[in-house]
């Protein structure tokens, strides 16, 4: 559904869920079920911020079971190339097609700083690996025994990167390595998104899903600015949250305004509402975004 929406030039919507810190996926699946008919696909984070969570691959399969199309986020930080190869082939066997190829947050950012990172590959080389599998290539010799995979790989980008030339080079390398779409980090400045789409993504033919991050309060926004690399939340938004009688509702309003604005700039949005995913339907409703066709209605024989 995501790949077809992007190919058709429709406004595509994805939302992010975080796997549980435990073995019971119940809450995450309940929250994700509330997104059915509202988004084209649901991203599942993979050890985000270098913190232990349930396997992204496992949760992606569970999302498919309830009729939601997943996007498997795959990080290079914790796996060598053999493990990444196994994860890609396993995802394909389970019916998971969408990927977001990531280098991964550094271990030092998490709550187990003594863990040993792998980092044999990074996002560009992982994209190259996916491209090879899609061409039916065995990375050691010859061809895959059972034919090519059909994985739809995307990459991350930060339109507000302080190094414009570095951003342009990096996105160009990701495109050359096989990226088919981009999901961005949170974007709080429409002009930065407009410049990124016009000067970098459009010439490469890469559809952009602009990152919309739900702010919960002025304190939360200040924390994100301080702790999340690349976050650039304007002081005007922080002041707006501080002055609001209901900061949570104001955060929803801000996110909805961004979704509405980005519809004329990017080909889609990627919604991030950490630990408040149940508010995503409210954001989309306030933004006036039309429902999408659920995956279950598209799964027809033949």
Q: What confidence tier does 155 reach under pLDDT thresholds 50, 70, 90?
A: very high
Does the pLDDT value for residue 302 go beyond 90?
no
Domain ranges of the chain: 2-297
Does the pLDDT value for residue 11 go beyond 90?
yes
CA–CA gap between residue 213 and residue 193 (Å, rounded)? 14
Quote the pTM value: 0.94
Which pLDDT tens digit goes with each residue over 189-205? 999 999 999 999 999 99
Q: What is the CA radius of gyration of the chain?
A: 19
> What pLDDT score does 294 carry?
54
CATH number, domain 2-297: 3.20.20.220
Which pLDDT tens digit goes with each residue over 213-229? 999 999 999 999 988 87
Which pLDDT tens digit goes with each residue over 236-286? 999 999 999 999 999 999 999 999 999 999 999 999 999 999 999 999 999
């Amino acid at each position: 559904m995501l790949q077809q929406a992007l190919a058709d030039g429709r406004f595509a919507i994805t939302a992010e869920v975080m796997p549980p810190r435990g073995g019971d996926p119940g809450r995450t699946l309940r929250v994700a079920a509330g997104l059915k008919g509202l988004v084209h696909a649901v991203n599942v984070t993979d050890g985000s911020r270098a913190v232990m969570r349930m396997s992204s691959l496992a949760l992606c399969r569970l999302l498919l079971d309830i009729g939601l199309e997943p996007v498997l986020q795959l990080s290079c930080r914790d796996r060598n190339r053999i493990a990444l190869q196994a994860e890609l082939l396993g995802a394909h066997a389970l019916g998971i097609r969408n990927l977001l190829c990531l280098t991964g947050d550094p271990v030092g950012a998490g709550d187990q700083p003594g863990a040993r990172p792998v980092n044999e590959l990074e996002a560009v080389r992982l994209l190259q690996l996916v491209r090879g599998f899609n061409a039916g290539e065995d990375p050691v010799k010859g061809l895959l025994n059972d034919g090519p995979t059909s994985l739809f790989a995307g990459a991350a980008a930060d339109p507000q990167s302080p190094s414009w030339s570095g951003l342009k080079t990096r996105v160009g390398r990701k495109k050359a390595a096989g990226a088919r779409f981009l999901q961005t980090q949170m974007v709080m400045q429409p002009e930065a998104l407009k410049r990124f789409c016009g000067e970098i993504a459009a010439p490469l033919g890469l559809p952009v899903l602009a990152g919309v991050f739900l702010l919960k309060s002025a304190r939360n926004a200040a924390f994100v600015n301080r702790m999340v690399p690349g976050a650039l939340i304007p002081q005007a938004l922080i002041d707006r949250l501080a002055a609001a009688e209901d900061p949570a509702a104001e955060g929803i309003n801000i996110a909805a305004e961004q979704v509405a604005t980005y519809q004329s700039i990017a080909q889609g949005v990627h919604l991030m509402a950490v630990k408040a995913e149940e508010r995503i339907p409210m954001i989309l409703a306030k933004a006036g975004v039309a429902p999408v066709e659920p995956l279950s209605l598209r799964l027809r024989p033949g």
